[in-house]
Structure 1
């Protein structure tokens, strides 16, 4: 086993920190678009829910869901977030109903 000078080790570590920090500063920020959501009707059908159940899970009225499905209105931002969760985990809707 080789004994290394602690000062050399410290300087090497500091050099790595500085180099890493410089790389992070120069790395461009890339914005990632969220995956597109399926239409509310497709999502509802994918989760196996009736309109009444889907409305209950989403915390909205049945008429709101029908309006989304007819494309007369768009879901709110929070409803879209919940739809993303349902899309990533289709069983979540059933769990929320229980």
Structure 2
């Protein structure tokens, strides 16, 4: 290992120690906003029951997401991002026809 790489590694270890002791805050922080499920559904023009059926969740689950009692995660969150980006394309792909 060359001297520059060693010094960069040493600085990194030092910074980590400061962070763990609470002497420094994280240098980077990425915050991803929760999807606005109600707005996404409304953009499709579908009712709660039809939208829930289309994305494969129970109506109660969709209602909980829309009222922000529960956050969608994993594949559901990814699917909602796709629907938000291209509602009509997503509907055709998932339903085989436009709404």
Q: 3-state SS of the aligned residue for 1:75?
A: coil
**Out of 67, 70, 74, which is 1:73 matched to?**
70
> Contact 1:53 / 1:97 at 8 angstroms: preserved in 2?
no
TM-score by length of 1: 0.58
Q: 3-state SS of the aligned residue for 2:79?
A: helix
> Contact 1:40 / 1:68 at 8 angstroms: preserved in 2?
yes
Q: Give 5+ residue unaligned stretches, structure 2.
A: 1-27
Structure 1 stretches of 4+ with a deviation exceeding 4 A read 33-38
TM-score by length of 2: 0.58
| Residue 91 of structure 2: aligned partner | 94
Q: Give 5+ residue unaligned stretches, structure 1.
A: 1-30
User: After the TM superposition, which of the residue ranges 83-92 and 39-48 deviates more from structure 2?
Assistant: 83-92
Question: Larger C-alpha radius of gyration, 1 or 2?
Answer: 1
Quickly say closer, same or farther: Cα 1:39–1:52, change in 2 above 3 A: same
Asked whether 1:59 is paired with 2:56, we answer yes
> Contact 2:35 / 2:77 at 8 angstroms: preserved in 1?
no
Tell me how far 1:34 sits from its aligned partner. 8.9
Aligned pairs, number: 67
Across the aligned residues of Structure 1 and Structure 2, the Cα RMSD in angstroms comes to 2.2
> Contact 2:49 / 2:59 at 8 angstroms: preserved in 1?
yes
